Amino acid sequence: MSNSGKRLKSAADAFAGKQDLSIEEAVSLVKNNAKAKFDETVDLAVNLGIDPRHADQMVRGVCALPNGTGRSVRVAVFARGAKADEAKKAGADIVGAEDLMETVQSGKVDFDRCIATPDLMPVVGRLGKVLGPRNLMPNPKVGTVTLDVAGAVEAAKSGEVQFKAEKAGVVHAGVGKASFEEKKLVENVKAFIDSVKKMKPAGAKGTYVKKVSVSSSMGPSVTLNLGDL
């Protein structure tokens, strides 16, 4: 059996019969079985009792993880003049206007977060077919259409994560790395779940949070005990 096969079997054995755990127990189990050759991401999947096809049931927001994500985030900013200078000073990786639009239109999307000043949204709007499917379209609801470009860049760089419910009503996010201390991962998981709960839409009926699963990039998932959330 290959090393990867042995690793997967070992993880499967460790997870066998373990579901509906406390956040602390789940994080410990996932962290201790993340044994790939790279620093695995700890992922959270929250199944919600919503139908995102209805506007009044869409869940979309942002969460500032207290301990960051552990990954480097490349930020692109659509801005001109003084605002472009502010973005560069704050650490933006790519700054531009029509020139940046042309770059993206050519198929080069070399960034993880896209921010725009309000006056540049007519330009950015032409990129909907490129940025939309990648969940990169700037949106005032998550603070990426703003005049405070410096603050938005700094937030993105410090570990802020955006989330948006998929068609099946599931919200996904990477909430840290397996190398993080358990305490820091637990804090991040709690912060993210709290953010999702606060975004409960007016149109959501019945049980809002139906299931929460934690996993590592290459490992099995384990569910959390909803009564503890």
**Over residues 135-162, mean pLDDT:** 93
pLDDT at 1 over 60: no
Q: What is the pLDDT of residue 8?
A: 65
What CATH class is the domain 3-69+161-228?
Answer: alpha beta
Residue with tokens 């940046």: 100
Q: Note the pLDDT tens digit of each residue in 22-48.
A: 999 999 999 999 989 999 999 999 999
pLDDT at 14 over 90: no
User: Taking the alpha carbons of 38, 34, 20, 16 in that order, is the dihedral positive or negative?
Assistant: positive
**Mean pLDDT over each residue of the chain, to the nearest integer:** 93
Beta carbons within 10 angstroms of residue 120's beta carbon:
23
pLDDT at 138 over 90: yes
pLDDT at 4 over 70: no
pLDDT at 89 over 90: yes
CA distance 72 to 18: 33
Can you identify the CATH homologous superfamily of domain 75-158?
Ribosomal protein L1/L10, domain II (3.40.50.790)
Q: Which residues pair with 145 in a beta bridge?
A: 116
Domain range summary for the chain, segments of one domain joined by +: 3-69+161-228, 75-158
Q: What is the pLDDT of residue 122?
A: 97
CA distance 197 to 71: 25
pLDDT at 115 over 60: yes
Strands 113-116 and 75-78: parallel
Rg over alpha carbons for the chain, rounded to the nearest Å, is 19
Report pTM: 0.83
Q: What is the pLDDT of residue 196?
A: 97
Q: What is the pLDDT of residue 100?
A: 97
**Over residues 92-115, mean pLDDT:** 96
